Structure 1
Amino acid sequence: MSDSPPIAYATGVVRPRRILVIGGGPTGLVTHRNLTQRGSFDRVELVERRDDVGGAWYLDQPIADPNDGTVIKVTNKPRWPSPAYPGLVGNVLPHFLSYSGHPSFPETKDPKQPFPSLWETHAYLRGFAKPFVENGSIRLNMEVVKVEEQDEGKGWKITMKDWNDGKEGKVVEEFWDAVVVANGWYDTPLWPDTEGVDILKEAGLAKHAKWWRGQYGFGYEGKKVLVVGNANSGNDMAAQLSTVVKSPVYQSVRRPNFPGFPALADEKIQKVAPVLRYTLSPDADSQGSDSEGRITAELTDGTKITGIDLVFFGTGYKHRADFVRILDVTNPTTEGSQNLVPITADEVQPHRVPSLHRHILYAHNPSLAFIGSTLAYTPFTIADLGSTWLTLAWLGEIPYPQTPSDRLAYERERLSSIEQLRSQFETPSTLYSYNVLAGHEQTYGIMLKEDVVQARPELKDVLPEWSDDRTKLREAMFKTKVQSLEYTKELRKRQGGVIEGA
């Protein structure tokens, strides 16, 4: 721990010297690089609980090199599985996945399928992280259990389990001046509050996209299924299931496909209304009867779908960071004891990591930061830009509001604008939420980059340019994705089989 506090409460200015980054996915890796190479801190380290970097792009099973089929990574069954699945192909083009100041993300070998695969994306991230793993500033198999704010600006106490030593995990405690939480979005599945969902879960008949591993080898053949949701996960599951299950696949949707979540029309997939409630047949066993499944889905339009075997939910995730415990600003520390509370909680509505200035700095103690607290069309480049901004803010090169109230102004304005936007719709899209940048992404990027360039003009041409032209190029990806899906579908037909991930 540093000899002096990293925060001066009189001015609210943070000057940390020792910084810990939590999470070795795309956001954590670029944050670690930017703090290390664009900063001048005494010590920067990253800890990752799994045995490899990559976050969601690191699959929890052996990965074969697509060039020769050799297995390049063999691990024991992990404790924290990725939501990825074999054959996953992304929806973001290489141009928008390339980190600044690093070799560009390589183009795919097939120009008609320009979106990188799971393997290609993971390979890029591993290559990016390699020098930091080798020099020891990235530590693997380190599970963060608690992050506890210390009083009087004395930094953060970190409790971890070191899984490099023994099967039980060795408990380790460390103190750091500042912490960046980059733990991603895929730990906590979001289930709808539809009546009967809990009954399906208890019966083992509800499956969330977090645990989707493809359509083969899990007994889905010939089943009657319902998929809930028509964003990326829901569309992928419906398309892949349609090749093996009883036709049609029912796909429950609230509104037509948003352009950002491309999907092909398929006669084997029948779009239906939202589900009002689920019920189970009382006379069927947990696996369903031989003749038909035991689930009935009653829809909001009054129709019923009976005999369903399984329901798949592509309903998203909640960003949680309950392991981060902060001093309760509503009930301050008394009599020398700390009153610590989780920073995220179900009571916080709308759901978010609360009290963040520009989605990054914790307003009540700016020695805590979050990178990746938002959902963006181009998360790699947003994380690159945001963590560069954070680096310069902690160096004192970028000013930010000096009081908690002033730092909270950004959140107040953002919440107000989202509330106004949602009020215009009877059933507003979940894309109109505090955590989703959506149409605000360009404005957000311009705002952060202006600060960065004012402090470091030399970074102007290093970081991506956020502009109308860039936004048009990004939006054109949606049409390109549809074309690539059509190409892959036709290729599958010509080959007389299934191309995984298509």
Structure 2
Amino acid sequence: MSFIKNVKRVAVIGGGPCGVATVKALLKEKSFDKVVAFERRQNTGGLWNYYNETYDDQKLDVPSVDPHTNLQTPFKVSKDNYVWPSAIYELLDTNVPYKIMEYHDFHFPKDSPIFPLKSSVLEYIQAYSKEVEDKVQFNTNVVDVSLTPESKYSITYRNVVDSTEGGVKESQESQHSDKVEEFDAVLIAAGHYDQPFVPDRPGLKEYSEKYPGSVSHAKSYKHPRQFKNVQGNILIIGNSASGSDLAYQLATGLHRPIYKSARSKSQLPAGSSEFIKTVGDVESVDPETKDVKLVDGTVIPNVERILYATGYLRHFPFLRSFNESETPFITNGSRVERLYRQCLSYDHPTLSFIALPRYILPTRISEAQASWLAKVYSGKIPLPSKETMIKEEEKLIKEKGTGAAFHNLFYPEDVFYSLAFNKEIETVPGWEDALVPCRWTEEELLYRANATPMKEAFIEYKEKTGKLATTLEELEEGVGYKPDPIDRSEFPHLKNLN
């Protein structure tokens, strides 16, 4: 066990929901001389900042399997004003109840729908962010993070303005030239909804080239109206949250058959429609006939549009020097490698990642991780030996493999994960005077355990009444839904937390 010492200047990359929670945790630790966050957008909120760009506006490589290319660029909307593409779409509401999306002791309005709309989530996050906005450098794109000979971090960043083409290229104007600062520690809260993953299939590239715009990704989806003039069949590939939701929106919005290719059963909530035709995995695409052949031999004829909802590649272009080293964070883009607790680099312990796992509640996880890291970097919580940290990662690889599932934390794993951080945080004298992460009450666990059937009941209630339910009582009266009780034996900590 060893303590990290002499961390005084700390940088946070990202000013979204997880970035601002990280800034708060660092500031409330009262141990650092400088804490600054770099955010390429013009305000807080991260990907919840919705802008109605369409699929025609975004470049997409088909296939898209290389995490080391940098495809995403911002849209110019006015002079020196740029919008970075977001995975948010127009009719989005959340797929988890707001009660378990909340930061510690900071609540949504009481009359909020159980599953709030995207605009409400943005307002909530930006309200939470107000007290740390002065620590965020907005319209600032980080282009490089490198290790110095003194084991500091050299961060190169530039303004998101016209002369940098939105932060993409170095400016020749002195007032907007690249700037470089050194920091003792870096916490990356940049999210992982940036680089679309479009897996290859025989004939797909030729199909995309022959019919430009025929292949798109969920990141460019905004509304069913984008597909209103499509005459042939529409195929969605992917069966997780976005694939299921987009299939439901297109089926109910266009009132026509929508094919959805699913390799496995989804563990996330979705609406149902007789127009959704769930089929198996895709084997190949015929660019001459537009036929799509499935692995079971079935052929879907005349597929005019293919919409991929296959997730994203892990992609941090500013870590180029690390990824080109003998110990890279990113190899094939399926996961971030060489991390302790999916969070802290055991090769470079003063470099960490916030909210990398999938299927988590980012606000809760970010508070737990950031509070723990703030205490690690202020020398209050020791780290185990590098060998121990490596063995823990190897154990996780044996359990989950080296693919994208490595980062999966389904309930109740996500709860146990955050509670493990809490347990160490609470060993530090005076821990309650700093940022206190969420602690999981029995009511919150009830909402977490029942999030999927609760959302399905919410959708059913909306279809039946035209209203958005704000209480469980409404769901029970309207559609007969009652959540299943949790198994208290799984959570012996409850008696200490209620």
With normalisation by structure 1, the TM-score equals: 0.79
Tell me the equivalent position of 2:461: 487
Q: Distance in 2 between matches of 1:228 and 1:145?
A: 32
Q: Distance in 1 between matches of 2:322 and 2:464?
A: 57
1:47, 1:143 within 8 Å by CA — same for their partners in 2? yes
Residue 408 of structure 2 is aligned to residue 436 of structure 1: yes
SS of match in other structure, 1:185: coil
Residue 306 of structure 2 is aligned to residue 306 of structure 1: no
- Written as runs of structure 1 = structure 2, the 5 A alignment for 1:45-60 is 45-60=36-51
2:338, 2:345 within 8 Å by CA — same for their partners in 1? yes
Residues 1:381 and 1:456: Cα distance change in structure 2 (over 3 Å): farther
Tell me the equivalent position of 2:159: 162
User: Which residue, out of 135, 138, 147, partners 2:145?
Assistant: 147
Name the amino acid aligned to 1:378: L
Q: Distance in 2 between matches of 1:328 and 1:104?
A: 39
SS of match in other structure, 1:132: helix
Name the amino acid aligned to 1:482: E
Q: Distance in 1 between matches of 2:277 and 2:223?
A: 20
Q: Distance in 1 between matches of 2:466 and 2:7?
A: 54
User: Which residue, out of 387, 400, 404, partners 1:418?
Assistant: 400
Q: Distance in 2 between matches of 1:327 and 1:254?
A: 34
Which is richer in helix? Answer: 2
User: Which residue, out of 339, 347, 356, partners 1:373?
Assistant: 356
Q: Distance in 1 between matches of 2:98 and 2:77?
A: 28
1:385, 1:463 within 8 Å by CA — same for their partners in 2? yes
Residues 1:279 and 1:329: Cα distance change in structure 2 (over 3 Å): closer
- Structure 1 unaligned regions, length at least 5: 1-9, 63-73, 282-293, 332-340, 423-429, 494-502
- Structure 2 unaligned regions, length at least 5: 54-75, 166-170, 468-498
User: Which residue, out of 345, 355, 361, partners 1:362?
Assistant: 345
2:233, 2:258 within 8 Å by CA — same for their partners in 1? yes
Name the amino acid aligned to 1:23: G
Q: Distance in 1 between matches of 2:179 and 2:243?
A: 40
Cα distance, 1:39 vs structure 2: 3.6
Q: Which moved more, 1:209-218 or 1:159-168?
A: 159-168
2:357, 2:409 within 8 Å by CA — same for their partners in 1? yes
Residues 1:87 and 1:328: Cα distance change in structure 2 (over 3 Å): closer
Cα distance, 1:34 vs structure 2: 0.7
2:45, 2:126 within 8 Å by CA — same for their partners in 1? yes
Q: Distance in 1 between matches of 2:360 and 2:350?
A: 28
Tell me the equivalent position of 2:8: 17
SS of match in other structure, 1:195: coil
Deviation per CA, 1:127-148, whole angstroms, max 9, x where unpaired?
A: 1222322x3x111000000000
Residue 368 of structure 2 is aligned to residue 385 of structure 1: yes
Tell me the equivalent position of 1:252: 261
Tell me the equivalent position of 1:114: 114
Tell me the equivalent position of 1:464: 438
2:52, 2:222 within 8 Å by CA — same for their partners in 1? no
User: Which residue, out of 89, 92, 97, partners 1:93?
Assistant: 97
2:50, 2:89 within 8 Å by CA — same for their partners in 1? yes
Q: Distance in 2 between matches of 1:391 and 1:276?
A: 48
2:77, 2:83 within 8 Å by CA — same for their partners in 1? no
SS of match in other structure, 1:354: coil
SS of match in other structure, 2:225: coil
Deviation per CA, 1:329-364, whole angstroms, max 9, x where unpaired?
A: 976xxxxxxxxx863222x7xx32211111221111
Q: Distance in 1 between matches of 2:217 and 2:146?
A: 32
Deviation per CA, 1:247-304, whole angstroms, max 9, x where unpaired?
A: 311111122332xx112331111111111111112xxxxxxxxxxxx52110111110
User: Which residue, out of 186, 189, 194, partners 2:196?
Assistant: 189
SS of match in other structure, 2:35: strand
- Written as runs of structure 1 = structure 2, the 5 A alignment for 1:61-72 is 61=52
Cα distance, 1:475 vs structure 2: 1.6
1:108, 1:115 within 8 Å by CA — same for their partners in 2? no
Cα RMSD after superposing both structures:
2.8
Residue 442 of structure 2 is aligned to residue 451 of structure 1: no
Count of residue pairs the alignment pairs up: 429
1:223, 1:245 within 8 Å by CA — same for their partners in 2? no
Residues 1:409 and 1:485: Cα distance change in structure 2 (over 3 Å): same
- Written as runs of structure 1 = structure 2, the 5 A alignment for 1:166-315 is 166=163, 168=165, 169=171, 170=176, 171-202=178-209, 203-217=212-226, 219-220=228-229, 222-245=231-254, 247-258=256-267, 261-281=268-288, 295-315=290-310
With normalisation by structure 2, the TM-score equals: 0.79
1:94, 1:105 within 8 Å by CA — same for their partners in 2? yes
Residues 1:490 and 1:327: Cα distance change in structure 2 (over 3 Å): closer
Name the amino acid aligned to 1:312: L
Residue 330 of structure 2 is aligned to residue 344 of structure 1: yes
Cα distance, 1:38 vs structure 2: 2.8
Residue 82 of structure 2 is aligned to residue 78 of structure 1: yes
Q: Distance in 2 between matches of 1:145 and 1:454?
A: 38
Q: Distance in 1 between matches of 2:324 and 2:386?
A: 11
User: Which residue, out of 357, 374, 377, partners 1:394?
Assistant: 377
Residues 1:220 and 1:233: Cα distance change in structure 2 (over 3 Å): farther
